[in-house]
Structure 1
Amino acid sequence: MSAFDLFFQQLINGIIKGSLYAMIALGYTMVYGILGIINFAHGEVFMIGAMVAMTMTTILLKVGLSPILALVVAMLAAMVACMITSFLIERLAYRPLRHAPKLAPLITAIGMSFILQALAMLVWGREHFPFPEVLPSDRINLFGNVGVTMREIIIVVVSFVMMGGLFVLVNRTKLGRAMRATAENVNVTALMGVNPNKVISATFMIGAALAAVAGVLFATNYGGKVHFYMGFIPGMKAFIAAVLGGIGNIPGALVGGLVLGLVESMGAGYISAEYEDVFAFVVLVVVLIFRPSGLLGQRVADRA
């Protein structure tokens, strides 16, 4: 493969991976924008989405549904499961600590991550499960040796449609206005007649729905990696993407995810794929040193 082909192939790979990171990162950045906490259990919500979808797809294919219909139904089931899980996390783990010192919800988030991993291990076991082949994997040659599969095109299209839907919701709907108002000041928003508890719960659930879709898309593309621990690394990378773009900034999560995906892909192509995970954490260190507010410069005020 020529240098030209290598660059464009890694560019395509980076966009595919970055779109998934961006979808997960939106959950981190929305919660942080409103509550000022990092929901480290969000990676496990991503994992639950993939596991539920894998189980549902397998069952539906056995009863005779077409692969695409089975995947759509499984994705909807995964979204519902993740939204319920995230609602319970917020209601039981975070809401009682809303006025506690900031270290308390951080420790709780890490604890919830371990709890969800343990529950998933009890339900599905320790095995690595293959995700059924439901999306077409035909390769389309763009030019030279550069190509992309239909499955990868579907992943990118679905990712951007979901993220576009979120931007419309946040900027064009009553719930979105309530979310933006709550992010500015929870107490004043309550005085204006908005129930902040409902808005915060809705924020967790919307982020969980995006994480569920990302989990399903990730599992379809990396089918041999569906297991109870699969959410940790993608979750951490999505957190890095949120920090890179500017934590609390929704467009920043999209930019950060794409940039991180490109950095990883280029690093794997030009240096070594063995250090792919290292590149993400190098990016985190560099950003925290030189631009802690992120690429888009969003600064979130400390909450009292």
Structure 2
Amino acid sequence: MELIQQLVNGLSLGSIYALIALGYTMVYGIVKLINFAHGDVFMVGAFVGFYSITILELPFLPALLISMIVCAIFGVLIERIAYKPLRNATRIAALITAIGVSLLIEYGMIYIRGAQPEAYPNDVMPTSKIDILGVSISSQSLLIFFVAIVLMIILQFVVHKTKIGKAMRAVSFDADAARLMGINVNNTISATFAIGSALAGAAGVIFGIYYIKIEPLMGIIPGLKAFVAAVLGGIGIIPGAMVGGLLLGVIEALVSAAGFSLWRDGVAFVVLILILIFRPQGLFGKNKREKV
């Protein structure tokens, strides 16, 4: 029974990783860039949600939507200012810029509001225990998991059934061919950043409600773990990011349940090393031949 409880906790945590990992994987799939500032967009989302709840006194869902909208705009600004001028630059230049943007966001937030942590109010989402097959499970965990799954389903619908989703898939497959077919590649890339950043913002609010404490450097570890989740599932593959995030959350929960909670953060990087050694293309990836 304790195992089922840990699995639910792991799925709740994994759904947060999955939401962040989707941003990594979408951006990589289209512009072949690892956006290391993505974890900091997640942090900004957590703070926007916090101020929406405490200062504007909004309930959970409106705070979640505001956070997603603000982070979507923020993601587009990052792309237009920092990444667009480097579209044709070397990979290493774009990577270094991403790390620089990440540090700028973190320490910009510390400069604006200070480094002290904040705590989400306890009454944002009423917590009760639900008994399922004799196991007492927090309603908060189930609601977080449900919200994350709904957002992932909406994303799948957008990618596969809408005009912008088709444009994103076309640009991902061949940007030059998509441009010749009349697709506005710049707008499509901006839309990709907007959607990925909105999901990271939602993850920030969910994280704040689940873990209470938020602070300006909170995006570093979840951001790295979400990157591991994206690699685990197959970077550039949307279902892979979802499965990778959920799987990583469950692995962490089981490691904690086994009494190795000090190893909890380290296990993600053990998983990364193992996946790079034994299946570098990820669980859902395919081997690609590259001409040298």
Alignment TM-score, normalising by the size of structure 2: 0.96
Counterparts of 2:209 and 2:34, CA distance in 1 = 28
Task: In structure 1, give the amino acid aligned to 2:216.
Answer: F
Counterpart position of 2:226? 238
Deviation at 1:296, TM superposition (A): 1.0
1:16-55 per-position Cα deviation (integer Å, ceiling 9, x unaligned):
1111111110000000000111000000000000011101
The match for 1:158 is 147
Deviations 1:176-206 (A, max 9, x none): 1000000011111000000000000000000
| Superposed displacement of residue 85, structure 1 | 1.3
Mean Cα displacement is larger for which, 72-81 or 111-120? 72-81
Q: Which residue number in structure 1 is paired with residue 20 of structure 2? A: 24
**AA at the equivalent of 2:90:** P
For residues 119-163 of structure 1, give each alpha carbon's deviation from its aligned partner in whole angstroms, at most 9, with x where no partner exists.
11122211110101210111113244x322121111011100000
Q: Please list every run of 5 or more consecutive structure 2 residues that lacks an aligned counterpart in the other structure.
A: none
Question: Are the aligned partners of 2:52 and 2:63 in contact in 1 as well (CA < 8 Å)?
Answer: yes
| Shift in CA distance, 299/37, structure 1 to aligned 2, threshold 3 Å | farther
Q: 1:294 to 1:7 in 2, by over 3 A?
A: same
Q: Does 1:117 align with 2:113?
A: no
2:175 touches 2:185 (CA, 8 Å); kept in 1?
yes
Q: Which runs of structure 2 are paired with 1:1-304 in the superposition (5 Å)?
A: 5-61=1-57, 69-133=58-122, 134-144=124-134, 146-224=135-213, 226-298=214-286
In 2, distance between residues paired with 1:302 and 1:260? 30
Mean Cα displacement is larger for which, 46-55 or 149-158? 149-158
Contact 1:248–1:298 (CA<8 Å) still a contact in 2?
Answer: no
Structure 1, unaligned runs of 5 or more: 62-68
| RMSD (Å) for aligned C-alpha atoms | 1.6
Query: Shift in Å at residue 301 of structure 1?
Result: 7.8
Q: What is the TM-score with the length of structure 1 in the denominator?
A: 0.92
Contact 1:23 1:211 in 2 (8 A): yes
Cα deviation, 1:262-293, whole Å, max 9, x if unaligned, reads 11111111141111101101000000010000
Residues 300 and 89 (structure 1), Cα distance of their counterparts in 2 relative to 1, 3 Å cut:
farther
Q: Which amino acid aligns with 1:20?
A: I
Matched residue SS, 1:60: coil
Alpha-carbon distance in structure 1 between the residues aligned to 2:290 and 2:22: 20
Shift of 1:6: 2.3
Give the partner amino acid of 2:105.
L
CA 1:299–1:119 in structure 2 vs 1: closer, same or farther (change >3 Å)? farther
Q: CA–CA distance in 2 between the matches of 1:232 and 1:303?
A: 35
Show CA shifts across 1:56-98 (max 9, x none).
Answer: 110133xxxxxxx522222222112211211111001111111
Shift in CA distance, 265/138, structure 1 to aligned 2, threshold 3 Å: same
> Which deviates more, 90-99 or 293-302?
293-302
For the 8 Å contact 1:27–1:207, the answer to whether it is kept is yes
State the percentage of identical aligned residues: 48
The one-letter code matched in structure 1 to 2:267 is: F
Rate the CA distance shift 1:9–1:117 in 2: closer, same or farther, 3 A: same
The amino acid of 1:34's aligned partner reads I
- Letter of the structure 2 residue corresponding to residue 9 of structure 1: Q
Q: Is the 8 A contact 1:86 1:208 kept in 2?
A: yes
Check the 8 A contact 1:117/1:229 in 2, yes or no: yes
- Paired residue secondary structure (1:141): strand
| Alpha-carbon distance in structure 2 between the residues aligned to 1:270 and 1:182 | 45
In 2, Cα distance between equivalents of 1:102 and 1:254: 26
User: In the alignment, is the contact (CA less than 8 A) between 2:8 and 2:141 conserved in 1?
Assistant: no
DSSP-derived class of the 1:194 partner: coil
Which portions of structure 1, spanning 4 or more consecutive aligned residues, are displaced by more than 6 angstroms? 300-304
C-alpha distance in structure 1 between counterparts of 2:129 and 2:56, whole Å: 26
The number of equivalent residue pairs is: 291
Displacement of 1:299 after TM fit?
5.0
Deviation at 1:300, TM superposition (A): 6.8
Q: Secondary structure at the match of 2:56?
A: helix
